[in-house]
Chain A
Amino acid sequence: MSLCLFLFFSLFILSGHYGPLAVLLATLLHTLRVSAFNVTDASSATAIQRTYELTKYLEHQLSTLTVSYLTYLGPPFNDPDFTPPRPNNSASLPSAATRLDLWKGLDNRLRLSENHRAYSILLGALKGLAAGTLCPSLQRSLQHFCTGLHGLLVSIAGVMTSLGYPPPLPSGEDIPNYFTPKPGSFDFSRKMGGFWVLKELQTWLWRSAKDFNRLKKKLPIPRRRTHMFIACPGIPFHW
């Protein structure tokens, strides 16, 4: 308000040749004042965009990794048409599936925390999977992917902080037993478990891309020109 008054008076006093200069000065001060407000919005938008890009990158990496892993499991898992039944304790794996109306209605905070929770659990499961993999090169690839997934968790937590939400609590949920490494044990149920961990990860990464796209749209992205003209709508520019 005080800034508007300053702008008004500066125009009034310094009208004529110095009118444009007065506007320049007032706008400079206004810009300095609003710059602090712009930073938070801009950083959230950047964080969301980065997280979105990270999900796309991880999705791409996972598709290659899945092919290697299913080949390692052997038939029938490497048959593209084969879908094993879900293991009995698969309810502990977070499912990305949801009703359209519920998904649309999620508020930003819940949307982010659901994503964070899902990846926390899946990261734990994937670590167990990697530890139980007997092929060294595949194990390295899985562990490398775990690092990327950890980066995604950090990125999501960063978005939550930048939007002013409390950081997510560490997941205290137990990872299902059959993911804990049992070297040498290679039964069918463990293979089924491995299949579904990767499948759920794939689905979540695809869903997250849509989640972050939606967050991007719901968040007001600041436009500098708009701010300048919104400053003092009642005062016309006089040259």
Chain B
Amino acid sequence: MANIVTSACCVVLAAVVVVYAQRRSQQGARIQYEKIGSDVTMQCGTLGSEASVTWKVNGTDVENRREDDGPRLALKQVDLSVNGLYSCFQNPTGELKDQIILRVGNPPKEPIVTCRSNTYPKGFYCSWHLPHPTYIPTEFEVSVRHGLQDLQVQKDPIHKNRCHVKLPEIFSNNKYRVNVTATNALGNASGFLAFDEISIVKPDPPEKVVANPIPGNPRKLEVTWNSPSTWPDVETFPLKYFLRYRPLILDTWQHMELSDSTSYTITDAYAGKEYIIQVAAKDTEIGTWSDWSVAIHATPWIEEPKQIIITTTTEADENETTPSQASPSAKPQVGDTLGSSSAALTLSANLFITCIIVLII
């Protein structure tokens, strides 16, 4: 038991030492960023121009190096393949003099900014991306201006290229101006977007879209949904909806624009056909339609097929008869109607009175 524990401890210790040594070997290394396609010169520490050094990249010798370069290493028209850890060793001692991590990349180009408000009137968020990759670490700074006021910007905890801003007021015709500056070791670039409050409003799609068949109605489907949960105040800022549906077998959609109710009954479905249904949402006054919701499938109610039992009579069974059980539910229904005629009359009289009352009002 003690032996096993000791062995385990030794293994762990050895691993720690190896990792530490590796880290240490890179700790003295500095990072050098260079532009793709440019000519690069690396200098080995502070050695004089007469010094003779040997260069290694990631532990292997550097190819095609001129001997009279002294403490420098020149690389022409670099591309991404030259990335690596470069070490220089002084000749003839072989002493490690310097370590450089070479990273090639591009300076950033103007970022492309887009903004959207799916939480109107609380706030909006902006996203950006670079049209061309930089291949080296790039940081972004965002500033938002509204008229003469600078607004506070909150970085998104998950997405590196997104930030959130609260709307300071509503019904404003001052533009919002979002400026994004991308910076890396090779340069910087700025992009901006200016917009009016109403032009960026776009809700998230409706949620929990459900379509149910209605028993006894082979051409109807009842569709219900919820307003998007990100929309903060659907009472004060109501949404209107757009429903589209089609049978799976056809390509053309049917559309229905609806006011702020969150349910609709399709009444012209083809009997027995599976339907695909989607819903979108929009603020009743401003902005644009949301994306379509997740598509749901539903089939209208189909009548239960009647049980038909085929009886075959052979010569041996001639004397026996099997009663047919066609439409087992038909006869009892007829019987019920005949038996409750008096109750029906009273009921119809009461309904008639109620109708008159409703009509008067």
List the interface of chain A (C-beta within 8 A of B). 20-21, 23-24, 27-28, 31, 81, 83, 95-100, 103-104, 199-200, 202-203, 206-207, 209-210, 213-214, 217, 224-225, 227-228, 239
Contacts and interface: CB of A to CB of B under 8 A. Distances in A.
A98 B167 CA distance: 11
A227 B357 CA distance: 12
Contacts of B170: 97-100, 103
B6 interface: no
Given A96-B172, A98-B171, A225-B361, 5 more contacts: A97-B172, A103-B171, A210-B171, A224-B361, A239-B346
Contact of B284 (A23, A104, A199, A213): A213
State the 5 A-B residue pairs at the shortest beta-carbon distance, nearest first: A97-B172, A96-B171, A207-B171, A20-B353, A203-B173
B171 A217 contact: no
Interface string B163-183: 000011111111100000000
A96 B236 contact: no
Contact of B171 (A24, A81, A206): A206
A99 B172 CA distance: 10
Contacts of A98: 169-171
Interface in B59-109: none
Contacts of A81: 194
A95 B172 CA distance: 8
A217 B235 contact: yes
A239 B285 CA distance: 49
B203 interface: no
B334 interface: no
A208 to B, nearest CB: 10
A224 B175 CA distance: 47
Q: Which of A98, A99, A203 is the most central at the interface, judged by chain B CB atoms within 10 Å of its CB?
A: A203
A81 to B, nearest CB: 7
A29 to B, nearest CB: 11
9 contacts: A20-B349, A21-B353, A24-B356, A27-B360, A99-B169, A103-B171, A206-B285, A210-B237, A228-B361
Contacts of A209: 284-285
A213 B236 CA distance: 8
Given A28-B360, A239-B346, A203 B285 contact: no
Interface string B321-361: 00000000000000000000000001001100100111011
Contact of A228 (B167, B169, B198, B357): B357
Majority secondary structure of chain A interface residues (helix, strand, loop or mixed): helix
B238 interface: yes
Interface in B223-239: 235-238
A213 B286 CA distance: 13
B121 interface: yes
A48 B361 CA distance: 23
Contact of B286 (A83, A200, A206): A206
B353 A24 contact: yes
Interface centre among A20, A83, A98, A104 (most CB of B within 10 A): A20
A99 B170 CA distance: 6
A217 B237 CA distance: 11
Nearest to B121: A100
A100 B194 CA distance: 22
Contacts of A199: 173
A31 B167 CA distance: 49
B331 to A, nearest CB: 31
Nearest to B173: A203
Contacts of A27: 357, 360-361
B361 A31 contact: yes
A97 B235 contact: no
A109 to B, nearest CB: 19
A31 B360 contact: yes
Given A228-B361, A239-B346, A104 B236 contact: yes
A100 B121 CA distance: 8
B284 A97 contact: no
A219 B158 CA distance: 44
A23 B194 CA distance: 66
Contacts of B172: 96-97, 203
A104 B175 CA distance: 23
A21 B286 CA distance: 53
A177 B169 CA distance: 29
A203 B361 contact: no
A128 B175 CA distance: 26
B173 A96 contact: yes
A51 to B, nearest CB: 14
Nearest to B283: A210
Nearest to B198: A206
A27 B360 CA distance: 9
A1 to B, nearest CB: 21
B204 to A, nearest CB: 20
B70 to A, nearest CB: 56
Contact of B169 (A100, A200, A224): A100
Nearest to B167: A100
A81 B175 CA distance: 10
Contacts of A100: 121, 167, 169-170
